[in-house]
Amino acid sequence: MQAPTATPMSEPATTTTPQATVIVGSGLAGWSLARELRARSPEALITVISAGTGDFYSKPMLSNALALNKTATNLVSASGQTHAEKLGVTLRAHTSVTAIDTAKKTLATTAGTIPYHQLVLALGADPIRLNLPGSEHILSVNDLDAYATFRAQLAQAAHPERGRVLIMGAGLIGCEFANDLAKAGHTVHVVDPGERVLGALLSAEDSHALQTALASLGVQFHFGMTAQRVDHRVDTDTQTPQAPRDKWVTLSNGECLCVDVVLSAVGLRARTELAQGSDLHIGRGIVVDAWGQTSAPDVYALGDCAAYASAATPTLFDGAPRGLPFVMPLMTAAKALAQTLAGTATPIVFGPMTVRVKTPAYPVSVQA
């Protein structure tokens, strides 16, 4: 990644008066920005709007919390309200933004209309859902509620301490869950259409070493394969499920695996619907210029929902803005954006970004 090369949509004006900043989203991006802005502007009026509780937690912990025996509740380091009070911001929890009027500078929300001077979209990303029969039985763990559901399904297994889990996807998150589950004593199957773990991100040598380390924990790999369907088997005499908790996953080679939990880790897609409905420029996310500003004045985007012009290189995606769905880039962007929102226009400059893969069986790092 390099210094910003893309033409800015427009450099934000330098201001000296405190502005009312509304941040939509209370993930690491939203809360990091609130913290950075408060540090630079004690006077700023900051509101964080969240569709959820606003509770503060570290999302990367979701894929290594099981072996540490952490529940969803244990993962929360501060309630939304406590965190908001600590930062001196107003939290509007359980409030979804449904539309943005960029001309009037207002948000339509499930709790009425909210005005803004400066708006930051920190909306995150949705797990990609594969459209296959029985997909309603497939979980993706991308937030605390989904983690709680995942733990509840494991607890319902006939043998909860060694519940069987099938993971779709041998990428970063799939491998992290596989390591965590196997370490905690579970039976783990990983299904992937590729030929090796983290095929797009690791050298063949590192990939082989990681796979060997996971296999030595008992993880069973099914490469060159996809899941075709997920069924609850039904007793043909009584028409009742034989064991409601059992899920039968049919693979593309016809093999059928019986498990307690089916976890999808096949990737995320930036949440862009809200911005799209407001005619903001969308690419692989909500497109932002070198200052983090979208195609609408005073509307910015940050974190997993954003596609950053300043992260683009001519060799990557033909130089088009790209997403960087990791913690370090969102922290870098939050610092620069906080400067801009506090009155000093500051471009976002990404340095080299290394992401540590949380697989203690064979720790490796990849470039974001």
Ligand X SMILES: Cc1cc2nc3c(=O)[nH]c(=O)nc-3n(C[C@H](O)[C@H](O)[C@H](O)COP(=O)(O)OP(=O)(O)OC[C@H]3O[C@@H](n4cnc5c(N)ncnc54)[C@H](O)[C@@H]3O)c2cc1C
Which tokens is 152 given? 């509840």
- Name which of 44 and 114 has its Cβ closer to ligand X: 114
Which residue stretch of 121-129, 158-166, 188-196, 202-210 sits at the interface with ligand X (rule: CB under 6 A)? 121-129
**Could you give the CA distance from residue 128 to residue 261 in angstroms, rounded to a whole number?**
18
Q: Does 63 bind ligand X (CB under 6 A)?
A: yes
Which residue stretch of 43-51, 79-87, 189-197, 200-208 sits at the interface with ligand X (rule: CB under 6 A)? 43-51
Which tokens is 111 given? 């709790």
- Give the relative orientation of helices 80-87 and 28-40 as an angle to the nearest 10 degrees: 20
Q: Does 267 bind ligand X (CB under 6 A)?
A: no
Which residue stretch of 34-42, 122-130, 280-288, 313-321 sits at the interface with ligand X (rule: CB under 6 A)? 122-130
Residues in 5-24 at the binding interface with ligand X, rule: CB under 6 A? 24
- Give the rounded distance of the alpha carbon of 249 from its chain centre: 26
The DSSP element (H or E) to which 154 belongs, if any, is: helix 144-155
Between the alpha carbon of residue 49 and those of residues 26, 60, 70, 163, 185, the distances in Å are 7, 22, 27, 37, 39
- Name which of 163 and 171 has its Cβ closer to ligand X: 171
**Could you give the CA distance from residue 79 to residue 83 in angstroms, rounded to a whole number?**
6
Task: Give the residue, chosen from 51, 217, 225, 282, that forms a contact with ligand X under the rule CB under 6 A.
Answer: 51
Residues in 154-183 at the binding interface with ligand X, rule: CB under 6 A? 173
Task: Give the residue, chosen from 105, 358, 359, 364, that forms a contact with ligand X under the rule CB under 6 A.
Answer: 358
Q: Does 123 bind ligand X (CB under 6 A)?
A: yes
Q: Does 360 bind ligand X (CB under 6 A)?
A: no
Q: How far is the CB of 301 from ligand X (least distance, A)?
A: 9
Residue 243 burial (CB count, 10 A): 12
Residues 117/13, Cβ–Cβ less than 8 Å: no
Q: How far is the CB of 305 from ligand X (least distance, A)?
A: 6
Residues 362/209, Cβ–Cβ less than 8 Å: yes
